[in-house]
């Protein structure tokens, strides 16, 4: 890293990470209920993998290392009238837990908002400090 991280850098990077998390959750919800003709083709929920980035002792932020498919298995359902049904009349429904994804979305939105509040507080304190210097 080039120089020490400011509170704005730290909160900004955390907000970027939360946006990746929110986008993956939105993708999972958009694909919930989708079907495929085989287990291998069925959609599996995706999750971001985060890691900590330490600038100096006591100063750290986060980065997204990768986005990986979850281990949630697709569900086989008998639906012979579905155009994607296999020869036995089965389709594979996406491996997405919609309720868990909604909880994830609410938690992500709250964490994003917390970082917005951190930036607003830091801005207010900076402006107050500059006013005292006049």
| Tens of pLDDT, residues 90-106 | 999 999 999 999 999 99
pLDDT higher for 1 or 19? 19
Neighbours of 94 (CB within 10 A): 21
In the chain, what are the domain boundaries?
7-33+46-70+98-132
Region 78-92 average pLDDT:
92
C-alpha 110: how far from chain center: 12
Backbone angles phi, psi at 125, to 5 degrees: -65, -40
| Rounded (10°) CA dihedral 83, 84, 90, 95 | -140
Residue with tokens 């964490």: 111
pLDDT (0 to 100) of residue 74? 93
Residue 3 has pLDDT above 70, yes or no: no
Which of 7, 4, 16 shows the shortest CA–CA distance to 64? 16
Could you read off the pLDDT of 14-72 as tens digits, one per residue? 999 999 999 999 999 999 999 999 999 999 999 999 999 887 788 888 999 999 999 88
What is the pTM for the complete model shown?
0.83
């Amino acid at each position: 890293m080039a120089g020490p991280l400011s509170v704005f850098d730290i909160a900004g990077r955390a907000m970027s990470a939360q946006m990746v998390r929110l986008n993956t959750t939105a993708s999972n919800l958009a694909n919930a209920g989708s079907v495929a003709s085989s287990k291998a083709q069925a959609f599996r929920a995706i999750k971001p993998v985060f890691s900590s980035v330490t600038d100096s002792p006591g100063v750290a932020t986060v980065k997204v290392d990768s986005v990986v498919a979850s281990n949630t298995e697709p569900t086989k359902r008998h639906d012979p009238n579905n155009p994607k049904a296999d020869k036995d009349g089965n389709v594979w429904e996406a491996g997405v837990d919609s309720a868990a994804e909604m909880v994830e979305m609410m938690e992500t939105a709250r964490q994003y908002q917390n970082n917005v509040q951190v930036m607003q507080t830091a801005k207010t304190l900076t402006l107050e400090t500059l006013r005292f210097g006049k």
